[in-house]
Every structure is written in C-alpha cells, then in structure tokens.
Amino acid sequence: MSAVETIHVNGAWQPAASGAQREVLDPADAKTLALVAEGGVADTDAAVAAARRSFDEGTWPRTTVAERAALLRRVADLLQRDREAIALTESRDTGKTLEEGRVDVDDVTNAFRYFADLVMNESGGRVVDAGSPDVHSVVVYEPVGVCAMITPWNYPLLQASWKIAPALAAGNTFVIKPSEVTPLSTVHLMKLLVEAGLPAGVGNVVTGSGDPVGARLAEHPDVDLVSFTGGLASGTKVMEAAAASVKKVALELGGKNPNVVFADACATEEGFDTAVDQALNAAFIHSGQVCSAGARLIIEDSVRDRFVAELARRAERIKLGRGTEPGVECGPLVSAAQLAKTERYVAAALAEGASLRCGGSRPEPSQIRPATGYFYSPTVLDHCHGEMSVVREETFGPILTVETFHTEDEAVALANDTEYGLAGAVWTTDAGRARRVAGRLRHGTVWINDYHPYLPQAEWGGFGKSGIGRELGPSGLNEYREPKHIYQNLAPRPVRWFGG
C-alpha cells in the first residue's frame, strides 16, 4: 500500500477517486507524519455499494457463529503481534504517551475477544410461550445490514474496535470513516482484518473529512445503521441526516463528567493521597482529551483548600513532551484548533471570575521537547460555578474546574447539573453514601472510589445529550442486530372467521 492508498473498498487499497491527499500531522512538532487519501462522495458511494453487495449477495452474513468468532480471535492475536508498532502509531498520531497507546491496543484486543466469546455463548434464540403445544414461537437475532461507522480523533483504534468487533460478530458489513486528524491506526486495523481472512467487501475504509464523507454515510439510503462517536453538534447533524431513511442510529456524544469527593475520603493521609492522585488521572490523562474525563472536581468545602492546593502543586509537575519520550507523562493536544479552543475556554473562565491555581498558558519552550507542538499546561481553575462555559461545555483539554458543596444533596445536584450524562465518580468511605449517591447520579457509568476503568462486558454510554444507545456489553452487540419473531403453527387448520 502506497502512502496515499488509505481507502479500502471491496478488498483493494486505492487512492481517492479525485486524487486528493491530506497531510496527517504529528501534534508533538506540527510536522507531517503521513500522507493519506482524501476521500469524497464517489469513494463513499463505492464503499457503501461494496458493503451492500457483500451483505446481500456475499457469504459473511450467512457464515456460522463459530467462523465469525474465530476471525475475531485471529484479529486479537494479530493485534498483540503488532502491539508495539500500533502503539507507536497511535502515540505519534494522537499525541498520547506510548504507554497509553499500549493500553489501547490491549483494550482493543480484549474487545475483539469479548465479542467472539459473547456470540459463541449465546443460544439459538429465545423461545416464546404462545400458550399452545401446536405453536413453536421463537425470537431470533439477525444482522442489521450495512453499518456506517464514524469515529473520533482521541481514541481512534479503541472506538473503531467498539464498533467493528460487535458488527462483525453479528454478521454485518461496514464502512468506517476514521477522523481525518488521526486515521492511521484504523488503516492498520483494516490490514489486520484482511490478514485474518475477512472477505472482500465486508469491511471498507474511507479516509476523509466529516463533510463530505461522514455526511454522505449518514444520509446514504443503502446504509442500515450509522454509529457515530464525537461531538454533540456533529452528532445532531448525523441524526438529522439519518432521519430521512429512518435508519438505526447509535450516538456517543461525550460528557461533562463530575468527580465528587467527600471529606471522609480524605480523612487519612493515604485516602487524601489517593483521591488527589485519581483527580489528576481523571482530568489530565491524554491531556484531558477523553469523553469521560473527570473535568469537574466537586469537593466538600471543609477539605477544599488543602485538596486544591496539593492538586495544583502536583499538576504543575506533570512532565510534558512527545509521548514516545521516556518519562513523559502528558503529550500535546491533537491539533492547533484544539489548542486554540483550550485557550479560549481558559480565557473565558478567568473573565467570568475563576481563579487560576496553575497552568493557564502554553508551557515555555525550554520546558518541553520538542518545543513546536500543540502543548498546553495542565490547568486548575478554582471558584467555578455552573454558569461558566468551562463548566457546562466539553472542553476536551487539560482543564480541571473546582466547585464546592456542603451537603450530600448539594453534591448530587451539582453533579447532575449538566446536559450530558456519560460518567462520574464518588469518593467516600461511607458505603451507604456511596450507594445512595451512585444511584442518584444521572450518568451511564459511575465509579466509586476509582476513575476511568471500563470493562468490555459492561455497557458504555450516557444519559441526556451524551447520546443514544450503548457500546460494549450485550447491548453493544444488540445495537448491530435486529430481533425477528418467527411463529410456526404446527397444526394449521381453517379459522372460519368468514362463513363463506
């Protein structure tokens, strides 16, 4: 595959029909990392047509569950074989640390293995008692059809796997459009799918921008389902475009996630140290470019001063740099646009009355290597409130806001004061309080005395404007299937409804 042949249609790698190319930049130094094909409507239509033919006329939807599961397991093995190469690609493309890239590859491997096991362990259908021995009634699950997948730039490989693995397990065909900012690991994954034996046309990749590629996928009449992960504004457009053909839609649209810390969690030095450490992890992993980032610290007033002071002290010591450099703890933002967005949010917060405890600017060139990338210092903003844009909107940058509470009810009210509802956490040594607060939080994932872990067997998704549907878990598989009721009369006879 040449440098610009990153479009994969019907089993063949090719350049864009228009010949257009796009530079993919290394966010650590803003230099060109790769050239990729810049696909358009013609490439998208060709990919959908290949997926449509493969589903309607090909063998994949009719392969046995055992065959589909075996392919997923082969992909998992190949991911581990290429672990270092893929992790390096992910680190260079997104800016995250190499160790984060390795964790991503392992998580993707687990997702493929999980969905292989899930479909193998299912029964042949759900028998429905029709109330008569002369009737056999069963609900079975069939693939949706052609699936369009649109993935974000922050976790390109992970988000691709959360869609591709269940879609293939269910017997679907697909077209995936990775983010134009970080497409390289998805291209590598497609190569592994081919190597594992995926038939031509079952999996297709079109690299290109959201408009026209993503927009065309969302509206295309031959697409049966569109699964989108990204921002709220883009997700709304996807939903509108999909409405005309009444296709299935799955949306994961981010969050503005609370990390609620009660004073009792900090009563011992060990507890205090753990809560501060986890607050840093919640907010600053991957420079805050995480849909579930704990960007809102909501802390009990009695421990707020000490907690925030220590949090800011440690945040100032986070080592920035290229993610592949030894000792680097936090990489750059993904693009110049994301850096500028972060700067705007911090400036607005300060103008609205927030107090800057640390960060708030690009680091000095002498503090990082290389010095020309899209770096921004981890930032802690104190004295924040719910009317600030930095508190209400998803910043996707290394910004942590601090709000305080006095009572449990106030803590819950603050945590739920968001139009999103993806994830949140509660820190307390009181088991009863932990269960009460977790039960009252309107978020799809709630951690108690932890932050960020997820399991492939547990559903992921959110309430409110965090989206529609779920990824992972049994529900993540069912997003890619249609239930069908088959009712068989074993002793047919005349009904005599009409007398003639």
Active site amino acids? 252, 291
In this structure, what token pair is assigned to residue 373?
Answer: 């990338």
Among 272, 350, 351, CA closest to 304: 272
The Cα-based distances of 251 to 18, 226, 238, 476 in angstroms read: 30, 8, 9, 12
Residue 75's φ and ψ, nearest 5 degrees, are -60, -45
Among 291, 295, 298, CA closest to 422: 291
What is the spatial distance between Cα 432 and Cα 434, in angstroms, rounded to a whole number? Answer: 5
What is the spatial distance between Cα 429 and Cα 427, in angstroms, rounded to a whole number? Answer: 7
In this structure, what token pair is assigned to residue 367?
Answer: 């503090």
What is the spatial distance between Cα 266 and Cα 56, in angstroms, rounded to a whole number? Answer: 59
Contact between residue 377 and residue 342 where contact means Cβ atoms under 8 Å apart: no
Q: Torsion over CA of 310, 315, 319 and 321, rounded to 10 degrees?
A: 180
What is the spatial distance between Cα 385 and Cα 414, in angstroms, rounded to a whole number? Answer: 9
What is the spatial distance between Cα 195 and Cα 198, in angstroms, rounded to a whole number? Answer: 7
What are the residues whose beta carbons fall under 8 Å from the beta carbon of 430, sequence distance 6 or more? Answer: 262, 264
Longest dimension (CA), the chain: 95
Residue 355's φ and ψ, nearest 5 degrees, are -105, 130
What are the residues whose beta carbons fall under 8 Å from the beta carbon of 83, sequence distance 6 or more? Answer: 102, 105, 106
What is the spatial distance between Cα 119 and Cα 413, in angstroms, rounded to a whole number? Answer: 40
The terminus-to-terminus CA distance of the chain in angstroms comes to: 71
Pairing of strands 225-229, 12-14: unpaired
What is the spatial distance between Cα 100 and Cα 81, in angstroms, rounded to a whole number? Answer: 17
In this structure, what token pair is assigned to residue 219?
Answer: 């509206």
